[in-house]
Amino acid sequence: MIENKRAHYIQKTLTHILFIIAAIFCVTPILFVISAAFTDELALAQEGYKLFPSKFSLEAFEYILESPKQIVTSYGVTIAVTVVGTAISLLFTSMLAYVMARKDFKASRLISFMVFFTMLFNGGLVPSYIMITRYYGLKNTIWAMILPYVIIPWHVFLMKGFFSDLSITLVEAAKIDGGSEVGIFFKIIAPISKPAFATVGLFCAFTYWNDWWLSMLYIEDSKLTSLQYYLYRIMNNIQFLATSLTAGNISIDRSQIPGETARMALCVLAAGPMLIIFPFFQKYFVKGLTVGAVKG
Amino acid sequence: MTSKNSMKKNLFHTKMNWGLGALAFPGMIFLLAFYYVPLFGIVIPFKQIDYSKGILGSDWVGLKNFKFFFSSQDAWRITRNTLGLNFIFITLTLIISVIMALLLFELGRRSVKIYQTALFVPYFISWVVASYILYAMISPEMGAVTNMMKSMGKIPENLYYKPEIWPVILTLAYLWKNVGYMTLLFYTALIGIDSSYFEAAAIDGANKLQLMLKISVPYIKPVIIMMTLLQIGKIFYSDFGMFYFLTRNSGGLYATTDVIDTYVFRALRVTGDIGMSSAVGLFQSFVGLILVLTSNLIVKKSNPDHAIF
């Protein structure tokens, strides 16, 4: 018995050690960037990336807040896209998922299949690109960064998984009381589905906030450059600068490109909001992240 | 009386259909506009696109675009990279996250929360930011890993010019970003197990390992199979951001890091080659579909309940 208890104790400790190592593996790389953002530019150049700033400085953030207008603009674009996108996406995704979960509705199977099929087969990048730029006229508009992600099949299925676990008797009772389907969804189903709304809503927000793909494809106007795309462009410019310098072409304005610490500070500003928000949604994940059956 | 009753029932029925139809309507519009309408685009690779004639009116060119891609020297390299790396990613992610979920299930709720948060953090970081993080680690002048190697007396190399190391870096990056999410997916599935199963088995003298293998694993098997099937369908696709940003699109690394998606993107961006890019896109999608259908059929043979359709 004692032997058994001891084995159990050792086993538990080993499990904890394993998870601590995994947690370190996940978090440490990010700390290097955060630390660099708060380091003096010169100290960083001399001593390299450290877990803690070798010489603390807020200059990088001051530089970002003072100088290029582009950063403020990009922040605005990203916030607008995320807020509007998440609102539309969460609303339409939940409505669609609810209908799919209502097995008593004849068309629910067909709708489920149509959503599922898009996960298996799609037209590819070129056809969507042509549709969005030539026919929908979304190029260089803010909607190009919002509309294509409104319905993401995987999110629909996560929500459907949650709704499917709810009891149909709720709906039946409400219907006897004379409630309409739309009313029932918003007044009865939505309020008790907080975990699903929180989880999928967070995923929607994260999809919009972190997106560079749609900006890369459809946005040329610098007034509509999102934060992530701006970060990518800086990286690109630096590489361009490096190759131009070695090629002897020094006609590039160096002051246009933020220093190393400023770039890291930008990373912190770009990734920060999502990382601060998501732990608050943590408690909903276990309930809200329901992978239901895809079929039927 | 009867007719009145059935009339009422009918009314009730139509009303319900309208209501649910209205709820599904906006979502369906988006689904059609952004997933189904572009499906007409599968004719593009067979055509010489001329916008003045419209897509459907353009001239047919047969399989020219496909031949052009498959006879190119790059086809083998990028297909090998895509399939090889995806195979490693899918297998490792699956094994590691199932094991982690099972172990997490053994721990108390409070420690679960802390680990869950830490493991989930990378999932919320974009590949653009991740590329800066990687740079902070392996930058040839001042990267953290580079400095560590220096202090250990090793001569660090510029990893951005060493293609042979990149399959390892990319695998670590993929696991870093995805294991937390997958672990959580399996963990939430495990939560659903009725604890009386475990109690009964424990009374019968089953040990921890037996409980895991005989109760937990079979319970989450449908979720494991579904996730695997969905990933098999995407085996010709790659996480574009990871391959494009982490490698900084560095030509010196293409030997091991160039995948179908990055290749198509460059073809489209640099040369504007619509014909070939759409041909490759169709190839990816079509082969993926065939693979899912086949694997689903195999699953169905062994256990119809586990098939996803």
How far apart, in Å, are the Cα atoms of B172 and each of B118, B144, B230, B254, B295? 16, 16, 22, 18, 27
For the segment A153-174, the average pLDDT, to the nearest whole number, is 88
How confident is the model over B151-165, as pLDDT tens digits? 888 777 788 888 888
Question: Minimal CA–CA distance to B48: which of B33, B35, B61?
Answer: B61
Q: Which of A57, A80, A105 is the last residue of a domain?
A: A57
Q: Which of A19, A35, A57 is the last residue of a domain?
A: A57
Better-predicted residue by pLDDT, B130 or B153:
B130
Give the per-residue pLDDT at B37: 92
**Is A236 found in the same domain as A121?**
yes
Residue B75 pLDDT more than 80? yes
**Nearest 10 degrees: CA dihedral of B140, B145, B147, B149?**
-100
For the segment B75-82, the average pLDDT, to the nearest whole number, is 90
Please return the burial class of A230, using the count of CB atoms within 10 Å of its CB with bins 0-12, 13-18 and 19+.
Answer: buried
How confident is the model over A271-294, as pLDDT tens digits? 998 889 888 888 888 777 777 655
Find out whether A159 and A294 touch, Cβ atoms under 8 Å: no
Find out whether B66 and B279 touch, Cβ atoms under 8 Å: yes
Cβ-Cβ contacts under 8 Å, A49 against chain B: 136-137, 139, 142-144, 147
**Is A187 found in the same domain as A77?**
yes
**Is A139 found in the same domain as A27?**
no
pTM flag (> 0.95): no
Query: Using CA atoms, how far apart are residues B286 and B281, in angstroms rounded to an integer?
Result: 9
Lowest mean pLDDT, pick from B133-137, B205-209, B260-264 = B205-209
| Residue A63 falls inside a structural domain | no
Give the per-residue pLDDT at B4: 42
**Is A24 found in the same domain as A161?**
no
Query: Using CA atoms, how far apart are residues A269 and A209, in angstroms rounded to an integer?
Result: 12
How confident is the model over A43-62, as pLDDT tens digits? 888 888 888 888 888 888 88
Q: Which of A57, A80, A101 is the last residue of a domain?
A: A57
Q: What value, to the nearest 5°, has the Cα angle with vertex A193 and ends A189 and A197?
A: 120
| Residue A82 falls inside a structural domain | yes
| Contact between chains at B107 and A36 (C-beta distance less than 8 A) | no
Lowest mean pLDDT, pick from A26-35, A215-224, B1-10 = B1-10
**Is A145 found in the same domain as A94?**
yes
Residue B27 pLDDT more than 90? yes
**Is A80 found in the same domain as A5?**
no
Confidence label for A72 from pLDDT (cuts 50, 70 and 90): confident
Least Cα separation, residue B73 to chain A (angstroms): 22
| Contact between chains at B240 and A25 (C-beta distance less than 8 A) | no
Query: Using CA atoms, how far apart are residues A49 and B137, in angstroms rounded to an integer?
Result: 7
The domain that holds A241 is classified in CATH as: 1.10.3720.10
Q: Which residue has tokens 């329901």? A: A290
Find out whether B146 and B227 touch, Cβ atoms under 8 Å: no
Query: Using CA atoms, how far apart are residues A16 and A251, in angstroms rounded to an integer?
Result: 56
Q: What share of chain B is helix, strand, coil (3-state, %, to 5)?
A: 80, 0, 20
Find out whether B144 and A48 touch, Cβ atoms under 8 Å: yes
**Is A2 found in the same domain as A131?**
no
Q: Is the dihedral of CA B98, B103, B105, B108 positive or negative?
A: negative
Q: What value, to the nearest 5°, has the Cα angle with vertex B114 and ends B112 and B117?
A: 100
| Residue A184 falls inside a structural domain | yes
Neighbours of A104 (CB within 10 A): 10
Neighbours of B167 (CB within 10 A): 15
Confidence label for A210 from pLDDT (cuts 50, 70 and 90): very high
Cβ-Cβ contacts under 8 Å, A15 against chain B: 103, 106-107
| Candidates B36, B184, B278; nearest CB to A289 | B184
**Is A189 found in the same domain as A44?**
no
**Mutant choice from A120, A184, A239 vs B, greatest count of B C-beta within 10 A:** A120
Question: Domain count of chain A?
Answer: 2
Q: The domain containing residue A150 runs over which residues?
A: 68-288
Least Cα separation, residue A267 to chain B (angstroms): 6
How confident is the model over B217-228, as pLDDT tens digits? 988 888 898 888
| Residue A8 falls inside a structural domain | yes
Average model confidence (pLDDT) for chain A?
Answer: 85
Find out whether A40 and A59 touch, Cβ atoms under 8 Å: yes
How confident is the model over B246-278, as pLDDT tens digits? 988 888 888 888 998 898 888 887 877 888 888
| Candidates B137, B179, B227; nearest CB to A32 | B137
| Residue A144 falls inside a structural domain | yes
Percent of chain B with pLDDT over 70: 95
Give the per-residue pLDDT at B277: 86
Find out whether B264 and A116 touch, Cβ atoms under 8 Å: no
Better-predicted residue by pLDDT, A291 or B9:
A291
Residue B71 pLDDT more than 80? yes
| Residue A115 falls inside a structural domain | yes
Give the per-residue pLDDT at B129: 93
| Contact between chains at A105 and B30 (C-beta distance less than 8 A) | no
Average model confidence (pLDDT) for chain B?
Answer: 85
| Residue A153 falls inside a structural domain | yes
| Residue A167 falls inside a structural domain | yes
Cβ-Cβ contacts under 8 Å, B223 against chain A: 291
The ipTM assigned to this model is 0.87
Cβ-Cβ contacts under 8 Å, A159 against chain B: none
Give the per-residue pLDDT at B5: 45
Residue A244 pLDDT more than 70? no
Query: Using CA atoms, how far apart are residues B305 and B292, in angstroms rounded to an integer?
Result: 16
For the segment A18-24, the average pLDDT, to the nearest whole number, is 93
Cβ-Cβ contacts under 8 Å, A91 against chain B: 26
